[in-house]
C-alpha cells in the first residue's frame, strides 16, 4: 500500500508503454552487429553453471548439458541438475525473501523491472545470439523473442503501478479501498520454444506483484535462463526473490508443485504436463492452508481459414508463415489450413509455389536460412513419426524428409486432402508439418476449425464483413486474427491465452494478467461522525 502520489509521479515520469521495435536486418549496420554478437557468445560456450538459491551458487554432483540443435556435439553449457533437496531449499529461500520483498514499495519493484529492460536492450543481440545457438532460432525469430521479453518487463512494470491506483466507490461515512497483494512463493516453469520471452513474462509478472519464485526453465534452454538471472541480479533484485533451478523436470518439478509452501504454479508447455500439474496442485498437502493457483498455457492446433472472397496470394503467405515460423514449434502455429472447396486447388498451388523461396533450411546462425533444426533428438523423432502417420492420412505434397546432414533438420512438410478428424489434424505435432483440409463452404470451415480439443489461435482470410462478424462470435479461440497470420501476438495489443485444453486463458501481456499473481483485499473503515 503505497502513497498514490509517488505512484502517479513514477507513471508520469516513465510515460506510456510502447512496443520495442524489431531489428531491421536489411541494414548493414544491424547485420554486422548481429554477426559480432554471434561471434562473441560462441567464444563463451561450454562453461559450467551452478543453481542459484537464496543468492548463493550451488553446484550439484550431477549435470545437464545444453547442446546446439544445429550441431548436437557442440555443448553450449554444462548446468547443475537440481533434485528434490535443491527444490526444497529454493522454496525455503523464496519463503524467507518473501517477508521483505512483499513489503517492498511497488515503485521499487517496478523500477527493477525497468532497469532489467534497459540491460536487455544493451545486450539485445547477445541474448538473441544465445537463442540461435541453444534452441535453433533464426535471426528474426530470436530478435522477436528478445523484443517481447523487453516488452513484458516494460508493460508489467506499468501495469503493477496502475493496480496501486485502483479506486472503488465510497460508501457514505466510510473510507473504502481495494489493494492487490501478492500470493506468496510460486513455481514458474517456462518452455523452451520462447526461452526468453515467456520465461521473462511469467517470472517478471510474479515478481513485480510482490511474490518470490523458483524458476525452473526447460532442460533444452537453461543458458537463456541463466543470462536472465544475471540481468535480474544486476538490476538490483534482492537474493532469494528469484531462485534458479536447472535440470530435468521430473523430481524437482514435482517437488515444486507439491510443496505446501508453494502458493501458485505458472506453467507453459504441453497439455499432458499442464494437466498433471493442475491435478497435483489441486490436492492439499499437510501444512497447506490455501488452494494453489495454477496459471496454465498449454497446447494449440491453430487453423487458418480461407474463403473464396480472400486475397489468395496474401493467404498463401500467411499460411506458410503461420505453419513454419520457428519450424512450427509454436503453440500458436497455424498447423491446419482449412480452404473452402471453391478455391482449394488454386490456393494450394500458390502455397506450393511460394514454399521453396520462403522456406530455406540451414544453420540458423546464417541470416539467409529461415528454417533451422527442431530443438532436440526427442522432438526430431516425434515429428518424423507424425510425418509417417501423415503419409497414411493424406497426400504428401511437399517435403517429408530429414536431410542427410548434422543437426535435427526436418524438411517443411505439407499434406493435402487431410480429413478433419485425422491425427495430424487433431494432435499437436509441434514441428514443421501442415495439414491442408477442404471445407464445403466457409461455415463448414469454422466448424472444422472448432473441432479440436484446443482453442488457442486461429486466422480467417475473408473480405466479407458478415462472415467476419460470424467468425467473431463462433470461431472459438483465445486469439483470433483476420486477414493476417495467426502467430506473433504483441504485448499490450494481443493479450495471449487460449480456451479449452489450451489452458486457463491467462491472457499474458494484457491488463488482466497481473491479477493472476495477486489477491484483492478490500478494506472498509468507518469514519468518525
- CATH of residue 322's domain is 3.40.309.10
| One domain, residues 264 and 311 | no
Cell of 456: 488457442
Residue 511 lies in a domain: yes
Rounded CA-CA distance 316/322 in Å is: 10
Return all residues near 59 (Cβ < 8 A) that are at least 6 apart.
Answer: 48, 50, 51, 80
Reported as a single tens digit per residue, the pLDDT across 358-387 is: 999 999 999 999 999 999 999 999 999 999
| One domain, residues 334 and 202 | no
Kindly tell me if the per-residue pLDDT of 248 is higher than 90: no
Residue 35 lies in a domain: yes
Pairing relationship of beta strands 457-461 and 479-482 according to DSSP bridges: parallel
Reported as a single tens digit per residue, the pLDDT across 186-234 is: 999 999 999 999 999 999 999 999 999 999 999 999 999 999 999 999 9
Q: What is the pLDDT of residue 320?
A: 98
Residue 500 lies in a domain: no
Reported as a single tens digit per residue, the pLDDT across 445-488 is: 999 999 999 999 999 999 999 999 999 999 999 999 999 999 99
| One domain, residues 235 and 261 | yes
Supply the DSSP symbol for 507.
-
Catalytic residue among 154, 297, 308, 428: 297
Q: Using alpha carbons only, give the angle 1, 186, 216 rounded to the nearest 5 degrees.
A: 140
pTM of the prediction?
Answer: 0.97
Kindly tell me if the per-residue pLDDT of 250 is higher than 90: no
Kindly tell me if the per-residue pLDDT of 20 is higher than 80: yes
Annotation says 297 is catalytic: yes
Q: Which of 142, 42, 67, 69 is nearest to 373 (CA)?
A: 69
Rounded CA-CA distance 514/180 in Å is: 9
**Residue 63 bridge partners (DSSP):** 80
What does R_g of the chain's alpha carbons equal in angstroms? 24
| One domain, residues 287 and 309 | no
Reported as a single tens digit per residue, the pLDDT across 33-49 is: 999 999 999 999 999 99
Rounded CA-CA distance 380/34 in Å is: 28
Pairing relationship of beta strands 303-306 and 71-80 according to DSSP bridges: unpaired
Exposure string for 502-512, b = 16+ CB within 10 A, e = fewer:
bbbbbbbbbee
> Do 376 and 220 touch, CB atoms closer than 8 A?
yes
Catalytic residue among 92, 331, 393, 486: 331
- The rounded percent of the chain whose pLDDT value lies above 70 is 100
Q: Which residue has the cell 466457409?
A: 442
Q: Which residue has the cell 483470433?
A: 480
Total tally of structural domains belonging to the chain: 2
Domain harbouring 166, CATH code:
3.40.605.10
Structural domain boundaries, residue 287? 4-14+26-298+505-524
Residue 495 lies in a domain: no
Amino acid at each position: 500500500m503505497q502513497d498514490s502520489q509517488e505512484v502517479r509521479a513514477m507513471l508520469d515520469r516513465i510515460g506510456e508503454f510502447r512496443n520495442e521495435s524489431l531489428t531491421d536486418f536489411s541494414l548493414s549496420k544491424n547485420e554486422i552487429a548481429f554477426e559480432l554478437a554471434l561471434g562473441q557468445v560462441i567464444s563463451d560456450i561450454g562453461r559450467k553453471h551452478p543453481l542459484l538459491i537464496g543468492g548463493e551458487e550451488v553446484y550439484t554432483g550431477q549435470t545437464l548439458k545444453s547442446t546446439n540443435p544445429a550441431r548436437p556435439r557442440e555443448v553450449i553449457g554444462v548446468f547443475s541438475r537440481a533434485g528434490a533437496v535443491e527444490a526444497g531449499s529454493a522454496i525455503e529461500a523464496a519463503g524467507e525473501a518473501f517477508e521483505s520483498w512483499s513489503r517492498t514499495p511497488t515503485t521499487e519493484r517496478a523500477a527493477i523491472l525497468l532497469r532489467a529492460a534497459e540491460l536487455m536492450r544493451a545486450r539485445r543481440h547477445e541474448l538473441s545470439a544465445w537463442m540461435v545457438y541453444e534452441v535453433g532460432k533464426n535471426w528474426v525469430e530470436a530478435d522477436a523473442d528478445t523484443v517481447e521479453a523487453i516488452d513484458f518487463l516494460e508493460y508489467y512494470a506499468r501495469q503493477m503501478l496502475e493496480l496501486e491506483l485502483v479506486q472503488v466507490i465510497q460508501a457514505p461515512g466510510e473510507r473504502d479501498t481495494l489493494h492487490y497483494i501478492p500470493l506468496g512463493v510460486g513455481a514458474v516453469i517456462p518452455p523452451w520454444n520462447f526461452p526468453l520471452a515467456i520465461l521473462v513474462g511469467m517470472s517478471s509478472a510474479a515478481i513485480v506483484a510482490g511474490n518470490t519464485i523458483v524458476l525452473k526453465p526447460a532442460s533444452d534452454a537453461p543458458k537463456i535462463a541463466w543470462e536472465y538471472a544475471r540481468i535480474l541480479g544486476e538490476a538490483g533484485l534482492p537474493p532469494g526473490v528469484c531462485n534458479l533451478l536447472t535440470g530435468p523436470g521430473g523430481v524437482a518439478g514435482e517437488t515444486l508443485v507439491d510443496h505446501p509452501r508453494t502458493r501458485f504454479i505458472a506453467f507453459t508447455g504441453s497439455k499432458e504436463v499442464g494437466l498433471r500439474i493442475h491435478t497435483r496442485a489441486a490436492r492439499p498437502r499437510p501444512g497447506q492452508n490455501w488452494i494453489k493457483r495454477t496459471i496454465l498455457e498449454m497446447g494449440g492446433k491453430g487453423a487458418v481459414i480461407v474463403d473464396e472472397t480472400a486475397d489468395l496470394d496474401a493467404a498463401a503467405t500467411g499460411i506458410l508463415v503461420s505453419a513454419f515460423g520457428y519450424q512450427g514449434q509454436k503453440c500458436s502455429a497455424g498447423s491446419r489450413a482449412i480452404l473452402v472447396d471453391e478455391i482449394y486447388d488454386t490456393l494450394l498451388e500458390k502455397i506450393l509455389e511460394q514454399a521453396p523461396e520462403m522456406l530455406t533450411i540451414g544453420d540458423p546462425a546464417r541470416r539467409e536460412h529461415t528454417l533451422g533444426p527442431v530443438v532436440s533428438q526427442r522432438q526430431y523423432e516425434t515429428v518424423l513419426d507424425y510425418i509417417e502417420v501423415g503419409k497414411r492420412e493424406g497426400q504428401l505434397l511437399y517435403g517429408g524428409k530429414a536431410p542427410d546432414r548434422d543437426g535435427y533438420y526436418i524438411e517443411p512438410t505439407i499434406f493435402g486432402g487431410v480429413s478433419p478428424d485425422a491425427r495430424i489434424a487433431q494432435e499437436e505435432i509441434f514441428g514443421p508439418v501442415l495439414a491442408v483440409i477442404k471445407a464445403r463452404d466457409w461455415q463448414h470451415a469454422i466448424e472444422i476449425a472448432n473441432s479440436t480439443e484446443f482453442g488457442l489461435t486461429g486466422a480467417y482470410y475473408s473480405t466479407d464483413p458478415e462472415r467476419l462478424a460470424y467468425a467473431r462470435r463462433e470461431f472459438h479461440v483465445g486469439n483470433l486474427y483476420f486477414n493476417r497470420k495467426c502467430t506473433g501476438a504483441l504485448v499490450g495489443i494481443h493479450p495471449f491465452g487460449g480456451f479449452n485444453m489450451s489452458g486457463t486463458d491467462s491472457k499474458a501481456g494484457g491488463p488482466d494478467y497481473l491479477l493472476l499473481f495477486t489477491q484483492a483485499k478490500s478494506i472498509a473503515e468507518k469514519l468518525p461522525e
